[in-house]
Structure 1
């Protein structure tokens, strides 16, 4: 599932391409939305909220989309070949010089802009919010600390705590904090966990590459994420990988057993 920085960058690019322009064509290929015609409306802007994207139109209307595992928005010039098959298209927004194509967007919904909170109001502070403040940081830290016995990995992924962290940043934050994803939240300083999560997301928000090590060379971008069986960059111990969580919450976790001792579980 895309991380918050991926959605942020997609929203920024869509905003640059569409904001202030009139829709010449608007198709929503979703069973609940196919009868809605947005043609003629002005795109007021596009913004991300954690892993959610909100495209706002004139007339108090917003299109909510969520990438889930395989969704994406692409931008094309007239005449350009689409990079994904047409049967995956769920939305087409055309302005005078661009096509915004939404592929595999399983979650699409139209709501009054004034009622966007119905869809994103449950989220914790958005780590990439342009108005991020000390108050947001404190709110996220309080939410994280509210369940001190909860395993840190799933807590970091909980979008109700803070919005934007995915499996990549969960693994990397745990490594940089020197704790296992299975360690309880009480093993870390919640404020530092929030600060580090925002720092990593912000460092990658304006480009598609996602590096937590400061390096962009192939295979050098991450400390532990997707490096199962490879040597730890700190101590040389083999990185371990295991499933954490149950049912729909299950995710792979990566950690160094020496740098991040795992509590008995």
Structure 2
């Protein structure tokens, strides 16, 4: 599932293409908002919050989308063959005179009043890529998870929003923490969250995650040469793979 860095880059791309422009074509191929017409509205901007996207319009409405596993947004020049958006995978189309934004295989789509955005994202913890992060609130939520394995707490969007398997693994590797360490025994959770935030911020700029441990099963650790291993966070059907170095991230005795 795309993580916060990917959503921030997607929001930036939609922002660049649509903000300040009048919608000339609106096609929401989703049961509940299928009859919603956004033509004639002006796009105020798109922002990401964790793994969610919020596209706001000047009539006080917001298009909320979530990519889940396979979703993606593409921007095509209006009038081009690609902008016709005839694929059965298309779930949303927003076009201006110049650019057409097409949402493929979106996993979630709602239109809500902008003042009611809390109805779709209010359950989430602080956005780790927000301009500011409410550290006190993040730590308060962290504390409620008790002895839950730290990797699972990092994945919990109700603690902080935006981290997935990549940045759970990469931040724990950076701090040499065994992924199944009880969360309430982490000496400084704020430090770990700050590491994940910096990693994601860097990826927003470069387009590349750290790549030091995630997805490197049986390849040598970049620090010690031990083959990278993979374990499981969460129970089925919500299990997630967590890559780690058995030497650099030994459980504390």
TM-score (norm: length of structure 2):
0.94
2:139 touches 2:190 (CA, 8 Å); kept in 1?
yes
Distance apart, 1:81 and its partner CA: 4.9
After TM superposition, the runs of 4+ consecutive aligned structure 1 residues lying more than 6 A away are none
CA distance in 2: counterparts of 1:192 and 1:243, whole angstroms: 24
Give ranges in structure 2 of 5+ residues lacking alignment: none
CA distance in 1: counterparts of 2:69 and 2:242, whole angstroms: 17
Equivalences for residues 78-93 of structure 1 within 5 A: 78-82=78-82, 86-93=87-94
* Equivalent residue number for residue 208 of structure 2: 209
Distance apart, 1:162 and its partner CA: 0.8
CA distance in 1: counterparts of 2:190 and 2:115, whole angstroms: 32
* Equivalent residue number for residue 61 of structure 2: 61
Give ranges in structure 1 of 5+ residues lacking alignment: 213-221
What secondary structure, in the 3-state scheme, does the structure 2 residue paired with 1:180 have? Answer: coil
Equivalences for residues 1-265 of structure 1 within 5 A: 1-82=1-82, 86-130=87-131, 132-133=132-133, 136-188=134-186, 189-210=188-209, 212=210, 222-262=211-251
CA distance in 2: counterparts of 1:80 and 1:224, whole angstroms: 41
* Equivalent residue number for residue 216 of structure 1: none
Q: Which segment is superposed worse, 182-191 or 148-157? A: 182-191
In the comparison of the two structures, how many residue pairs are matched?
251
Distance apart, 1:246 and its partner CA: 1.1
CA distance in 2: counterparts of 1:76 and 1:160, whole angstroms: 34
Distance apart, 1:139 and its partner CA: 2.1
Kindly provide the CA deviation profile for residues 183-237 of structure 1, in whole angstroms up to 9, marking residues without a partner as x. Answer: 1113421111111111111111234222x2xxxxxxxxx1210001111111111
Kindly provide the CA deviation profile for residues 127-158 of structure 1, in whole angstroms up to 9, marking residues without a partner as x. Answer: 1112x05xx12321232233231100110011
CA distance in 1: counterparts of 2:185 and 2:245, whole angstroms: 17
2:69 touches 2:107 (CA, 8 Å); kept in 1?
no
CA distance in 2: counterparts of 1:235 and 1:13, whole angstroms: 39
Distance apart, 1:248 and its partner CA: 3.5
Kindly provide the CA deviation profile for residues 68-117 of structure 1, in whole angstroms up to 9, marking residues without a partner as x. Answer: 00101111113445499711100010001000000001200011111000
